[in-house]
Amino acid sequence: AQSVSQHNHHVILSEAASLELGCNYSYGGTVNLFWYVQYPGQHLQLLLKYFSGDPLVKGIKGFEAEFIKSKFSFNLRKPSVQWSDTAEYFCAVLSSGGYQKVTFGTGTKLQVIP
């Protein structure tokens, strides 16, 4: 069974600091990878996704993530965070093979201090 680990549960940063949120998955086959964001009081939104091709994926609002197959990782990065990035971030994995099941990590709460 596939699983997703997000090691940082709660991250506090000052504005303009750089961000990297870890995501590791366990699944031996082909995967599709996602990062979702949930702003306070809002529902989940897709931040970025990786299906194939360039392992460095750029998403909305200046976020990017890098798929490193050898490390089973898909870390999320942003060079300079803003207060408006305060939210909860979820990494998710979709296994290939016809059965469309997405497994979510436990989420990382990011708090950006002005």
Q: Applying CB under 8 A, which residues contact other proteins?
A: 32, 34, 36, 42-46, 49, 51, 90, 94, 99-107
Q: Work out how close the CB of 13 gets to other proteins at its nearest, in angstroms, rounded to a whole number.
A: 20
Query: Which of 17/32 has CB closer to other proteins?
Result: 32
Give, in degrees to the nearest 5, the angle at Cα 83 between 77 and 86: 65
What is the three-class DSSP state of 60?
Answer: helix
Q: Work out how close the CB of 76 gets to other proteins at its nearest, in angstroms, rounded to a whole number.
A: 16
Q: Where are the alpha helices (DSSP H) in 19-72?
A: none
Query: How many angstroms separate the Cα of 82 from the Cα of each of 56, 57, 62, 96, 114?
Result: 22, 20, 10, 35, 8
Q: Work out how close the CB of 79 gets to other proteins at its nearest, in angstroms, rounded to a whole number.
A: 25
Query: Which of 70/100 has CB closer to other proteins?
Result: 100
